[in-house]
Structure 1
Amino acid sequence: MNQSSSTNSTENQSPITQTDLSPAEIPLSVYDLTVAYHRKPVIWDVSFDIPPGKLVGIIGPNGAGKSTLIKAIMELIPRASGRVNIFGKPYQKNRHRVGYVPQRESVDWDFPVDALDVVTMGLYSEIGWCLPVRKKHRERALDALERVGIADYARRQISQLSGGQQQRTFLARALVQDADLYLMDEPFAAVDAATEKAIVKILQEMKQAGKTALVIHHDLQTVPEYFDYVILLNMRVIDHGPTEQVFTPENLQKTYGGRLTLLEEATETMRRREQSL
């Protein structure tokens, strides 16, 4: 069931709200969310739910408000209006159930810590900022680095890691939290093919474990392969729902406007995929 964007939030609700799921079973619910910088809206009247146990892509052009949306969900930036629930409760009451992978550009890579230290930071809500990190915590952090394939680099300074290794380090920091909902800001940006393959594998493992991931993604050609559910965003929600229903040439035209070359490539990819089924 497709939903078009509208200033009326009830018209822009997800089909999930019409199922038997209770609010506590829905990983993320966003209601009438608006964020503005210097009184200029960046995202406007955004409302949606995302289903449990799915890989959800946030898709839209540069400047559409994708990173702003994730930061507003986590209360890293102020909201002009609207509210957000994580499994039926405000973010602050369920923040321990959320793992976050930031955009690489937002990280100070010259900060003097090694990869293991970065991953261990994901446990600070459990350990406490003033308490010592114990052996069991470091072992969990090392296990997370092993899971993303860079345990051999545990004691290497993050500034000395490649871009792909840096991204895997922050993915491990999120994984060590064993969260129920993961928010990822462009995890595939500027990574090598091996790292992209590793991230996809981790996402699939999350899904199999019943986790939910909300991922900002730019490569339209891989959207049908990577995601079960998509949110098309350009300041407002253009449409959202199962990928096979929502990720259509018509909706992409509404989302991207005049970016015809990119749209044509994505459309051709979808047509080839449909022909192969």
Structure 2
Amino acid sequence: MILVFGGTTEGKKVAALLESLALPFVYSTKTKTSFQETKVARYSHGALDEAQLESFLTNNKVKIIVNAAHPFAEVLHNTIAKVATRLQMPVIRFGRKLLAKTIHPLVFYVNTYEEALALLKENQRLLALTGVQSIEKLKSWWQNNTTHFRILDRPASLAIAVKNNFPKKQLILGLPSANLQTEIDLIKTHEIDVILTKETGNSGFLSTKIEAALKTNTQIIIINQPKVPAYFEVVDSVDALELAISKTIVI
């Protein structure tokens, strides 16, 4: 049995590969999402702490973990690393190939939200493309300065925004877009001065966000992707993933 942490574009690719190889797996996400169970695929959702993850691995006789969760899901990555290390269970990190850093006066790279906030100037209009979980992290800014968050249009995301008392009229509901003009129009419509986003690679259309910022002469701050735990074997292509799995499980 293989445990796949998904909820991402990469997670879908892992599921498709394992399905094609007829390898039994459980597809796990933090929040409930649409997933079609099959003869080889089961679905599970909900956050897992160390004890719960260890119990799940043992009870389901999991032999290998494929971690294709969001690159910024640091708590999950660290939980997987700790439990897998204890159990000496192989972990393959199927991640996103990062883009080369863009060198431009309007483009800034930082490691933390605190560093990002330090770059902002009072009364700048901010477009936050960092996800609904960052609403709380940026509360000190948006309580005093106009900020728009683009978040997923789903009940769980809206509930987090409401819980933090974020102004509903300043929410932009939808997915990131690969359409350059759509992103440019978004910046112009809301008269944005600065964009805050994450280093997500092209799965998150980072190159489009950067190009839209430069086309509109808008500052963009990019939070660097966190480092992956050293215990993980890292791959960034389906072929490399299949090869890594074949070293542990006979295909």
The TM-score range, normalised by the shorter chain, is under 0.3
Larger RCO: 1 or 2 (CA < 8 Å, sep 6+)? 1
- The structure carrying a bigger helix percent of its residues is 1
Question: TM-score w.r.t. structure 2 length?
Answer: 0.26
Question: TM-score w.r.t. structure 1 length?
Answer: 0.24
